[in-house]
């Protein structure tokens, strides 16, 4: 009879022993998402750290600001403000959209004109193809390859309270990159064009 009681109790004993010992699975994309979200409401200064030969979008001396302006359940909006040198003006045309899906993350670029209307080149972006890490995610530009058939896309790195990096990639290498210092917040800029 004792053996029967022990046998009947064995499954319950096994469950009680294993449930507490089972390690929790951590989704790296969820960690990455929270690392972005934890900076919501804050703005940070940065600058150009790499550009391809002949690129004239930035000179490398202007001030850049990323503002983690709006965080809702599945969307984080981060405007990218560019100081226009030798003027008091700013280019407020770009907003990075991070979108969380059930099985992957998405990056989109919202480009606006000063009057708030959409730019001709707007809403391009890509999706993650790999789990990535809590600090680094790559967004692949589907349907587009360079002449050497190397994949193109964007790599985002975030090290909370340390550094945020946005850049374009060709295969595994950065082709264009801007770095932001997350150790010290700056004054939040005005709303980007089209998002007042």
pLDDT reported for residue 24: 76
pLDDT reported for residue 150: 77
- DSSP states of the chain: -HHHHHHHHHHHHHHHHHHHHSPPP--HHHHHHHHHHTTTT-EEEEEEEE--TT--S--S-S-EEEE--EEETTEEEEEEEEE-TTSS-EEEEEEEEEEE-SS-EEEEEEEB-TTSPBPSS-SEEEE--S---SSEEEEEEEEEE-TT--EEEEEEEEETTTEEEEEEEETTEEEEEEEEETTS-BPPPPPPTT--
pLDDT reported for residue 23: 66
Examine residue 7 and state whether it is found in any structural domain, yes or no: no
pLDDT reported for residue 21: 64
Query: What domain range is 93 assigned to?
Result: 27-181
pLDDT reported for residue 149: 67
Examine residue 12 and state whether it is found in any structural domain, yes or no: no
pLDDT reported for residue 103: 96
| Residues 6+ positions from 127 with CB-CB distance below 8 Å | 101, 104, 105, 106, 107, 139, 140, 142
CATH of the domain at 170: 2.40.128
Examine residue 8 and state whether it is found in any structural domain, yes or no: no
pLDDT in tens, 87-97: 989 999 999 99
Examine residue 44 and state whether it is found in any structural domain, yes or no: yes
pLDDT reported for residue 20: 58
Examine residue 3 and state whether it is found in any structural domain, yes or no: no
The residue whose two tokens read 């703005």 is 43
Task: Please tell me the pTM assigned to this model.
Answer: 0.86
When divided into structural domains, the chain yields a total of 1
Q: How far apart are CA 55 and CA 64, in angstroms?
A: 17
Examine residue 1 and state whether it is found in any structural domain, yes or no: no
Examine residue 65 and state whether it is found in any structural domain, yes or no: yes
pLDDT reported for residue 18: 46
* Phi-psi sector, 60: left (phi>0), alpha (psi -120 to 50), beta: left
Q: What is the CA radius of gyration of the chain?
A: 22
Examine residue 128 and state whether it is found in any structural domain, yes or no: yes
| Residues 6+ positions from 126 with CB-CB distance below 8 Å | 106, 107, 139, 140, 141, 142, 153, 154
Beta bridge partners of 157: 136, 165
Which residue stretches of the chain have pLDDT < 70? 1-23, 143-149
């Amino acid at each position: 009879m004792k053996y029967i009681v022990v046998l009947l109790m064995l499954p319950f004993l096994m469950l009680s022993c294993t449930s507490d010992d089972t390690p929790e699975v951590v989704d790296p994309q969820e960690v990455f998402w929270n690392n972005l979200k934890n900076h919501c409401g804050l703005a940070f200064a940065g600058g150009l750290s790499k550009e391809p030969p002949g690129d004239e979008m930035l000179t490398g001396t202007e001030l850049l600001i990323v503002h983690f302006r709006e965080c809702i359940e599945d969307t984080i909006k981060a405007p990218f403000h560019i100081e226009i040198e030798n003027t008091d003006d700013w280019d407020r045309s770009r907003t990075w959209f991070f979108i969380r899906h059930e099985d992957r993350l998405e990056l989109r670029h919202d480009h606006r004109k000063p009057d708030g209307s959409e730019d001709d080149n707007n809403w391009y972006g890509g999706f993650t193809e790999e789990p990535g890490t809590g600090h680094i995610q790559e967004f692949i530009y589907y349907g587009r390859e360079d002449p050497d058939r190397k994949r193109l896309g964007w790599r985002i790195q975030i090290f909370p309270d340390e550094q945020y990096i946005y850049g374009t990639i060709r295969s595994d290498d950065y082709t264009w990159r801007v770095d932001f210092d997350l150790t010290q917040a700056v004054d939040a800029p005005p709303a980007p064009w089209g998002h007042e």
